[in-house]
Structure 1
Amino acid sequence: MKARKFWKIIAASSLLSSFVLAGCSSSSSTSDKDSGASSGKKTVVWWTWNPGKDDAKDYVAAFEKSHPKIHVEVKSYQYNDYVNALKLSLPAGEGPDVFGVQAGVMQKEFSSFMEDLSPNAEKAWGNDWESRFYELGLKQIQEGSKTPALPFFVSAAGYIWYNNTILQKYGLKPPTTIQEWKEVAKTLQSKGVTPFIQGAKDAWINFDTYIALANDISPGKIYDAEAGKVSWTDPDLVKAMSNWKQLFDDGIMQKGALGISEYPDSDDLFHKGEAAMITLGTWNGSDMSKTSLETTNKTLGVNETYEFLPAPFPGVDRPSKPQLFGGPDVSFAINKSSSKKDASWEFIKWLDSDDAQKILASKLNIPAVKGINLDDSNTVTDAQKTAIKQMLTDVENAVGKREFLYSELQTALADALQNVATGKQSPEKAMKAVDIAFKAIQK
């Protein structure tokens, strides 16, 4: 997962109070030596949106078993609430000891509050410590010689996930082109099934969709545009925006898509079997784990065990082929204001240990550390075992990244996608607006 994503500060006073109080719990004048009160343990406060609440408990339990003198107090948030909490606490010198970030805009937002972990990493793993991690995960985080955070796991977008139980029921296969997608959608609609669902209220999932469309036409050109090498009005990028509009015009994108979120709205409906397909990435691999699926089904009250599988995002003019794009899904940092930096480092170091990364792999998330294979022993079907192997290959051959570097670009592109979807702007005018906004950034 899981997960990419837009931020707006929520001004409600009750929310502000809860975040500030939560922040105060981890920031005090107590030194690293004597923090831990009467128990003799040091308490590290960990804020996270990913891993989620249940998975976070598994990591904490395993860590505390091997580190009996350190207690980790975990606080889980929904993504938007999480970002708002950091916005309120970190500038005040409060907040957690350890917190997660995404590469790109989010990391830029909070980088000044993050410890440089390079010295710690070199001491722990030697001069060549960088080779321990997949380049796809580490390089997008590093800022020159500094490493503000360390990647926990790697993920990539560029897939649609489909409920194979539903498709097989009606003799269907996952679409490989947009035309096939349109035909599959019509068939499912005639059976009373929502063919596809997307929480297009959320900018991040719309970015994933647009990048997938752009990379299908000209792999990597969107990154050239962000680097200023080509214009955002390039015909291929305009074509990708036209194809985005086609998803709505052809009835592939469900009615009301712009009014619901990807998490939890669309994701829950997909897991309940109320929609046959959804745009997600490798972080959704846990849906192929019996244990994870049982937990999800119990939470949502689902009685059937569905077979969920990934497929390449359907191509425009030809059958699709994997064109994944990604990087570190979440990376963990130490708050510069933390009074427990030594204990916090022990926790982050453990999260990138073989022990923790194997727990991650057992949940079918792609480890940030090399040499840890995904554990397919807990998968539901043989088709999923095959999909897991393909997923690793697809990630290794990823064509680029998910995260943008400029918040102004995010805003402009988010507006363009919304305006084109609703018919307020043509693809040409929308991309012209993006280009104007981008040029303003460069001045």
Structure 2
Amino acid sequence: MKLKRSLAGVATVITALGVTACAGGAAPDASGNASSDTITFRSWSPIEQTTRQMIEAFQAENEGSKIDATIFNYPEYLVDLQSRASSNTMPDVLGLQPGALTQQYRENLMPLQDCAAETWGDDWQSKFYPIGIEQARMGNPEGDDNFYSLPILTQTVNLWANSEIFDDAGLSVPKTWDELVQTTKDLSGGDAAPFLLPAKDSWLRNVVFLQIANNVSPGTVYEAEAGTVQWTDPAIVKAFEYWGKLFSDGIAQDGAIGLDAYPSAVNQFEAGNAAMIPLGAWWIQQSDPTKSDIPPLSEGMSGYEPFLFPTIPGGAAESQFVGGIDVSLGISKNTANPELACKVLTDFIAGSAAQKLVNTMNDVPAVTGLAPEKFTSEKQEQIWNLFVDEWLPQVKYSRYFESPKLDQAVADALAAIATGDATPQEAAESVQAVQATL
């Protein structure tokens, strides 16, 4: 996801770390033969500088072992992964998301429960936040209890405010839809966009919609995904309607459907050019204590405040928590060294590499008990504790769909509403038509 940071933008930045190799599987040694002591890692997250620190930590404790990593922007990672799957050159360890993305490559992946049990014992599931274990098998066929990926990072999806802009305007973050509309009006006319919506990215459209849908009618959208209610259910049509209101009510900026999250929107937000943006817990990584030259707003999270998506009229009385797994890791079933791949994966999740990951605040860890060794401000620590102690344990609703086809159908329907090419009712009908084929 995060990225994130993380999640991704259109401008591609691909960085090779460690031993260079272009194909998946073990990297070739000097003789041209596969080197079984090298593990290839491909993902969009963790970000490059964090991944570098993780690799250094692992290799320091595992002399002779190497990790060849390439970190992509998210859209380019999806293209690369599809190409590798088609050519049977999958990386040894790869970044995934639960549900649609993991299920798309399930046939290429090795079940991980034996790896986990050998590393952490038979009660290994207790190490993880419950939402991570719950989501790890999203979309598995009936009767298939395998874990094809395990979470490395978890998160909430939420909104972020530029606290300096809000303080200067004498405003508080909005808690209801009506307050969101009014706050946007109050902040209009200034140098900063009141609500910056990077609606070009399908992942972001979907996570914003799922926050809206669960505020309108908690859990109904997943009943539609399961086929027990229709996508044309009035509650879901209402959720599509309120997504559309982001555009018709003047909340989102003009041209939102053409703005990507990474790098464009996040660069604008970090520069102080927006008062609000929909992202998630991973934004805390902007204050990574291991980085230098941190922008003023991000230093110690001094300029930011996270808040939940406002409630919708007639919906739930309180904002609902949406999130779960941010990034998970899988192992190719064709890896030349499954033991070493397992060692890399588990160390990235809960070992020395994981501590480096958490130290950079790339996102909230998937296992309990991990915390940064250093905080750079009281506000940074307060935000971290808010996510870890208060918000994440309350996450009930997933930010993902299980089916790749349904995931795309919803994203396409939201784009059509945003551009005026479909009404909320027509959008719901288009998703129901795809649902009927599953």
TM tier, shorter chain? 0.7 to 0.9
Amino acid in the other structure paired with 1:150: L
> Quick one: distance in 2 between partners of 1:269 and 1:312?
21
Q: Percent identity?
A: 28
> Quick one: distance in 2 between partners of 1:54 and 1:225?
40
User: Using a 3 Å threshold, how does the CA distance of structure 1 residues 433 and 261 change in structure 2: closer, same or farther?
Assistant: same
> Quick one: distance in 1 between partners of 2:34 and 2:412?
47
Structure 2 partner of 1:368:
366
Give 1:372-387 correspondences, 5 Å limit.
372=370, 374-375=371-372, 377-382=374-379, 384-387=380-383
- For residue 57 of structure 1, the aligned residue among 22, 37, 52 is 52
For the residue of structure 1 that corresponds to 2:195, the secondary structure is strand
Structure 2 partner of 1:209:
208
Amino acid in the other structure paired with 1:206: R
> Quick one: distance in 2 between partners of 1:131 and 1:305?
31
User: Using a 3 Å threshold, how does the CA distance of structure 1 residues 115 and 7 change in structure 2: closer, same or farther?
Assistant: farther
Contact 1:210 1:241 in 2 (8 A): yes
Are 1:220 and 2:182 counterparts? no
Are 1:253 and 2:255 counterparts? no
Give 1:42-191 correspondences, 5 Å limit.
42-142=37-137, 143=140, 144-157=144-157, 159-191=158-190
User: Using a 3 Å threshold, how does the CA distance of structure 1 residues 28 and 60 change in structure 2: closer, same or farther?
Assistant: closer
Structure 2 partner of 1:297:
295
Structure 1 partner of 2:312:
316
Amino acid in the other structure paired with 1:324: F
Contact 2:41 2:92 in 1 (8 A): yes
For the residue of structure 1 that corresponds to 2:320, the secondary structure is coil
- For residue 322 of structure 2, the aligned residue among 316, 321, 325 is 325
> Quick one: distance in 2 between partners of 1:324 and 1:356?
29
Structure 1 partner of 2:342:
345
TM superposition shift of 1:440: 2.2
> Quick one: distance in 2 between partners of 1:129 and 1:195?
45
Higher percent of residues as helix: 1
Structure 1 partner of 2:384:
388
Amino acid in the other structure paired with 1:205: L
> Quick one: distance in 2 between partners of 1:440 and 1:425?
21
Contact 1:289 1:380 in 2 (8 A): no
Structure 2 partner of 1:18:
none
> Quick one: distance in 1 between partners of 2:27 and 2:72?
22
> Quick one: distance in 1 between partners of 2:41 and 2:293?
23
Are 1:422 and 2:382 counterparts? no
Gaps of at least 5 residues in structure 2 are 15-19
> Quick one: distance in 1 between partners of 2:8 and 2:99?
12
Q: How many residues align?
A: 417
Structure 1 partner of 2:428:
431
Amino acid in the other structure paired with 1:369: V
Deviations 1:162-187 (A, max 9, x none): 11112212222211122222222222
Contact 2:216 2:235 in 1 (8 A): yes
User: Using a 3 Å threshold, how does the CA distance of structure 1 residues 27 and 387 change in structure 2: closer, same or farther?
Assistant: closer
Contact 1:290 1:380 in 2 (8 A): no
Aligned-residue Cα RMSD (Å) equals 2.9
TM superposition shift of 1:379: 4.2
TM superposition shift of 1:320: 7.3
TM-score, length-scaled by structure 2: 0.87
TM superposition shift of 1:23: 4.0
User: Using a 3 Å threshold, how does the CA distance of structure 1 residues 191 and 5 change in structure 2: closer, same or farther?
Assistant: closer
Amino acid in the other structure paired with 1:82: Y
> Quick one: distance in 2 between partners of 1:154 and 1:399?
13
TM-score, length-scaled by structure 1: 0.86
User: Using a 3 Å threshold, how does the CA distance of structure 1 residues 238 and 285 change in structure 2: closer, same or farther?
Assistant: same
Contact 2:8 2:44 in 1 (8 A): no
Contact 1:163 1:306 in 2 (8 A): no
TM superposition shift of 1:288: 4.6
Give 1:278-289 correspondences, 5 Å limit.
278-289=277-288
Structure 1 partner of 2:17:
none
> Quick one: distance in 2 between partners of 1:55 and 1:86?
21
Deviations 1:94-115 (A, max 9, x none): 1422111111111111111111
> Quick one: distance in 2 between partners of 1:42 and 1:371?
30
TM superposition shift of 1:363: 3.0
User: Using a 3 Å threshold, how does the CA distance of structure 1 residues 304 and 402 change in structure 2: closer, same or farther?
Assistant: closer
User: Using a 3 Å threshold, how does the CA distance of structure 1 residues 430 and 268 change in structure 2: closer, same or farther?
Assistant: same
Contact 1:27 1:94 in 2 (8 A): no
Deviations 1:208-246 (A, max 9, x none): 111111111111111111111111111111111111111
> Quick one: distance in 2 between partners of 1:307 and 1:184?
18
